[in-house]
Structure 1
Amino acid sequence: MTSVDFEHLTAAEARTHRTEVEDIYRGAYVDAIRAGAPFTDPVAFMQRFDAYTAPNRPGEFEQIIVSISGRPVGQVWGWSLSKETAWWNGLQLDEPQVHDDFTVEDGTRTFALSELMVKKDMTGRGLARTLHNSLLRSRPEQRATLLVRPDNTRAYQTYLRWGWYRVGRLRPGWPDAPQFDVLIHDLRQ
């Protein structure tokens, strides 16, 4: 019999699962890692993970790892954007005149969904959707945001089907970061 388990983790708890986090990443991003782009290098990815889960980092971090029969196969994580967030730095809004206060944060307005991944051999089973919904349904924020590469057609189209919409684009401050489209999802609907 197959068992499916979802483990909810705080930042401190997530740090104790570094091996599983990297293993899931390597299994989900096989092709991107093989392509050799510096941003997708597992070492660079784990450096970002360490920064996201660092002690005393602003914003409430939450992670969910899904395991099937004891094997970690997928994960999702994010955090609430604090008043001091750098998340919006470099944002180019599609309609800037409409959103004068768009980037104003107070720690309760926006949840940043940073990563959602399922190992390549486990895709097509609804695990990504289940992880996505499990993380967002309990969030108290008004909205969620995520960054998606415009050329990642499969993920992009999936997010649009799940109710996300584009508001602009930005390049994060991480070394070798590509340009991303910025998507928003209303959590109060």
Structure 2
Amino acid sequence: MSDVVVRTHDGSAPDALIGQIVDLYAAVFAEPPYGEGPEDVEGFRELLAVELPQPGFRLVTAAVDAELVGFAYGYSLRAATRWWEGIAPPPPPEFTAERDGRTFAIKELAVASSYRRRGIGRCLHGALLGRRTEERATLTVRPDATPALAAYESWNWSRLGVVRPDAGEIAYVVMVRSLP
């Protein structure tokens, strides 16, 4: 991985980089099992604009020869979050009673198909969670994204339950792990 350059960014990432992230997102999530199209990509672009200024936002990028080949980002959940709503089976109230700075949520982690299985995902994951002050982290993943699920489980994530964000949509696996 000596040819991979990993950088950490905050919510003021330059527009050019955001454009590259959206382009990589479009390529990665067009693949099975995701099958996302232009409307999904535009929704991601709009969501990212909302997420960039969130407290504790961190973006990690991986590049090879100045080409973006991977990214991961997340932010700290606020006390008023709806993150834990609708999880089945319902976790205990003391688990879901969020407070500012308690939980870091990974929103996306993506690696270009031609760069997978080289440790880039693990590197992005480690850089994203490194030196966090929260006590735990959470993420959601599609149950049919078996390589992603296997990777997260190998990185000490545990399944908490499932959540269906919108009626008719797929139920996502909610995962958690303690942060050192």
TM-score category of the 2 structures, normalised to the smaller one: 0.7 to 0.9
SS for the counterpart of 1:101 is helix
Q: Which runs of 4+ in 1 moved over 6 A?
A: none
- 2:59 alignment partner, SS class: strand
C-alpha displacement of 1:144? 0.4
- Amino acid across the alignment from 1:84: A
What is the TM-score of this pair, normalised by structure 1? 0.84
1:43 aligned partner: 42
**Equivalent position of 1:70 in the other structure:** 66
The secondary structure found in structure 1 opposite 2:75 is strand
1:117 has 2:126 as partner: no
User: What SS class does the counterpart of residue 65 from structure 1 fall into?
Assistant: strand
Aligned 1:36-185 pairs, distance under 5 A: 36=36, 41-53=40-52, 55=53, 57=54, 59-93=55-89, 96=91, 99-172=92-165, 177-185=169-177
Aligned 8 A contact 2:138 2:175 in 1: yes
Aligned length: 179
Q: Structure 2 CA distance, aligned partners of 1:18 and 1:85? A: 25
| Map of 1:18 onto structure 2 | 18
Q: Could you tell me whether the CA contact under 8 Å between 2:11 and 2:58 is conserved in 1?
A: yes
Return closer, same or farther for 1:102/1:7 CA change in 2, 3 Å cut-off.
same
Residue identity in the other structure for 2:46: Q
1:112 is paired with a residue of what secondary structure? strand
Give the partner amino acid of 2:157.
Answer: W
Could you tell me how far 1:15 is from its partner in structure 2? 5.2
2:20 corresponds to which letter in structure 1? E
Distance 1:179 1:14, change over 3 A: farther
Amino acid at match of 1:147: T
Could you tell me whether the CA contact under 8 Å between 1:149 and 1:180 is conserved in 2?
yes
Cα RMSD (Å) of the superposition?
2.4
Identity %: 31
SS in 1 for 2:94: coil
CA separation of 1:113/1:151 partners in 2, compared to 1, >3 Å: closer, same or farther?
Answer: same
Q: TM-score, normalised by structure 2?
A: 0.88
Amino acid at match of 2:74: G
Deviations 1:33-53 (A, max 9, x none): 983568x82112212212212
